[in-house]
Structure 1
């Protein structure tokens, strides 16, 4: 009995000794340990592009999340029109994400005026390197009353892309004037070839045509008056633009079934050789110029001039797109750190060289691939082009009139017959 008690006492002493030598993590139960803080979540909304732009952005976000365990970007991507609607609803309900993609113009200004967008002036002052790398005009596009409200991330230019082989086969050259363009359309039509692929279902690609025509006709002053409500779309300038636009319809320029085609369908039709031309922003440069079947066969030209009209030869687009921060975000510091990473030149160079859409920075260290690159050649070409920009019409005016304008352009494109008076009435309804 005494032996048993002695053995038990020895065992107890041994256990106490071992427990005293064990580290705290073993001695204390999991409940007593302090849990590691959960990472800060940064919600980010973007337009769904389903191309290299989205792929590169997702890769950048993944890299950020892997290297910043204390904070994580949670991205969401939405179809363009669905995104615009979701953003409007979120602004009204107060359920904005921390970061979101914007288009500069009246729509964005209204968000600023509604106090839905954070003033980031002081944050940029804290990061002078980021501020100094911007082209000054880029930040001016998101500056209101001397305060900055956005981070532009891309310069956009809408150009006309064309099938080189189709043009060469029929002895055609890129047009210098509107008359040249109409002649090309007529020549192709006589050969049974469709001239233009366009996404009528999405509406805004048709607006590219109308906006360029109006601008080349010298209608920009009238549009600026319309933006400020010192004028409206009943101005004679828009009637003239409508009449010129109708020349495309009369010459059957648009691909059959275009009213039911979205952007993806229109691009596929162009790349399949079903149309000779396609007007779109250079955000599709990577997709078009590196297409496996059409590689080295896709060229581009600026929208032609109108003879006898002292119009501007600017590009449609500009510093039109970027990221902004919600005024209600509780993660401003973390969100800004995420933006600094995504706007780092290393990340923007990857984006530019993959997509063809350059960043609005003073210096972008792009490098020519050893095998050559049509995308690089394009970016080098536009980098040396000092032409200015004019903004996207459906973003420059407020959403309600923008929808009316988009509908009006679809009507202009879809009706077989329209008189001058009917065109005038269509434009006058945009109020």
Structure 2
């Protein structure tokens, strides 16, 4: 009887222990340790972030982070599977925009408003618009990790050799393009195969023509993309790409790496990209020949040269299923200026007011770019393909491709194809 009773007690204990482990939750709590999984698209800064994670794990024996890093498209694919199965990682570094908002709307991300409100000094140090970018119904769901600003990069040596001045207006841009073509120099390198680099050109022209309001109206459904400013922007893009042959020959089949190489080897005079492009400049001899200007104005347009295409495009968030206190502690540590100092001293722009950057640690071009944006930034407008829902984003990418590839394309008819 005693042996039977002992056996029953042991079996009950095993069952209870099994139930305890099976209810560990998404954060995988075991042995009083909360294990947090993390996915990030910041693969180029992997070593720096892994060092921060190691520092956090060493200082927090009860919370351990394990991270995986992915290239952009690989993470997007992995996220689609995770969203379908409601199996997000505990921590995620992801793009702002429609997909992020969808995650919030479907209760898949944790609300960090209360933690941020209690963390006043940190909250107040985020640049204006940073937390708002990752807010939904006035609640916070993410912390920005960088600010992005797209500029027109140019080769100073090519411009000097051809007595050219960096264009401040669209008309000046066309004049520069014509002169470069006459001298058998590729005016602009752009990846048409990836589509979004061409969309940068269109988006900037649309903002310089009509300001930011038309896009906000179209995004919300109060208007569509056949508004006059969008049509005019399409005509200007067509004029640049087709009539003046501004883009490198065969650009529609050119991928990002090939387009970048044309510029970094001095074969193309101009290149429209964000601060991430500096990665290809900074450690190369050509960096001394690289300059930048804000995107040109359009005569009679409403847009300002100090309004950049970009914004707070990437932020860090936590899964709604994660241990919220542990997860916030982790992202608060990883987004702190001290942890991201080395990243922001490279080809990045800090989203914080007090980034703690040291000019002595920075490449002159990187410091010049960071300083120019922080001193002149009046505002920003988001990437169209990230701001719109997936359906309209893909339609827009296709439509812009059609506009620049067909001399007889009807811009208004093409833009009418972008609809919910």
Q: Verify same fold: TM over 0.5.
A: yes
Relative to structure 1, the CA distance from residue 197 to residue 66 in structure 2 (aligned partners, 3 Å threshold; closer, same or farther) is farther
Please tell me whether the aligned partners of residues 275 and 349 of structure 2 are also in contact (alpha carbons under 8 angstroms).
no
Q: What CA distance in whole angstroms lies between the structure 2 residues aligned with 1:109 and 1:389?
A: 19
Relative to structure 1, the CA distance from residue 178 to residue 85 in structure 2 (aligned partners, 3 Å threshold; closer, same or farther) is same
Match of 2:378 among 366, 382, 387: 387
Instruction: Give the greater-gyration-radius structure (CA).
Output: 1
SS at match of 2:287: coil
Match of 1:265 among 236, 258, 273: 258
Per-residue CA distance 1:177-230 (angstroms, 9 max, x = gap)? 000111111111111111111122221111110000000011532211111011
Per-residue CA distance 1:232-272 (angstroms, 9 max, x = gap)? 12223221111111012222222233233332332222101
Query: Are 2:367 and 1:373 equivalent residues in the alignment?
Result: no
Please tell me whether the aligned partners of residues 102 and 323 of structure 1 are also in contact (alpha carbons under 8 angstroms).
yes
SS at match of 2:49: helix
SS at match of 2:326: helix
Residue 85 of structure 2 corresponds to 93
Q: What CA distance in whole angstroms lies between the structure 1 residues aligned with 2:201 and 2:274?
A: 12
Per-residue CA distance 1:6-46 (angstroms, 9 max, x = gap)? xxxxxxxxxxxxxxxxxxxxxxxxxxxxxx93853322222
Residue 113 of structure 1 corresponds to 105
Query: Are 2:221 and 1:229 equivalent residues in the alignment?
Result: yes
Please tell me whether the aligned partners of residues 211 and 302 of structure 2 are also in contact (alpha carbons under 8 angstroms).
no
Q: What CA distance in whole angstroms lies between the structure 1 residues aligned with 2:76 and 2:189?
A: 24
**TM-superposed deviation, 1:231:** 1.2
Normalising by structure 2, report the TM-score: 0.86
Please tell me whether the aligned partners of residues 45 and 97 of structure 1 are also in contact (alpha carbons under 8 angstroms).
yes
Residue 418 of structure 1 corresponds to 408
Per-residue CA distance 1:131-186 (angstroms, 9 max, x = gap)? 23222421122222221111111111100111111111101111110001111111
Q: What CA distance in whole angstroms lies between the structure 2 residues aligned with 1:97 and 1:231?
A: 37
Equivalent residue runs for 1:2-401 within 5 Å: 37=31, 39-47=33-41, 49=43, 51=44, 53-218=45-210, 220-250=212-242, 251-288=244-281, 290-313=282-305, 314-329=307-322, 331-355=323-347, 357-369=348-360, 373-401=364-392
Structure 1 gaps of 5+ residues are 1-35
**TM-superposed deviation, 1:405:** 0.6
Moved more, 174-183 or 57-66: 57-66
SS at match of 2:186: coil
Please tell me whether the aligned partners of residues 286 and 375 of structure 1 are also in contact (alpha carbons under 8 angstroms).
no
SS at match of 1:276: strand
Q: What CA distance in whole angstroms lies between the structure 2 residues aligned with 1:371 and 1:75?
A: 27
Per-residue CA distance 1:358-381 (angstroms, 9 max, x = gap)? 222122221121796221122122
Q: What CA distance in whole angstroms lies between the structure 1 residues aligned with 2:255 and 2:70?
A: 15
RMSD value over aligned CA atoms?
2.1
Please tell me whether the aligned partners of residues 345 and 362 of structure 2 are also in contact (alpha carbons under 8 angstroms).
no
Q: What CA distance in whole angstroms lies between the structure 2 residues aligned with 1:371 and 1:244?
A: 37
Structure 2 gaps of 5+ residues are 1-29
SS at match of 1:369: helix
**TM-superposed deviation, 1:346:** 1.3
Q: What CA distance in whole angstroms lies between the structure 1 residues aligned with 2:404 and 2:48?
A: 35
Q: What CA distance in whole angstroms lies between the structure 2 residues aligned with 1:221 and 1:136?
A: 19
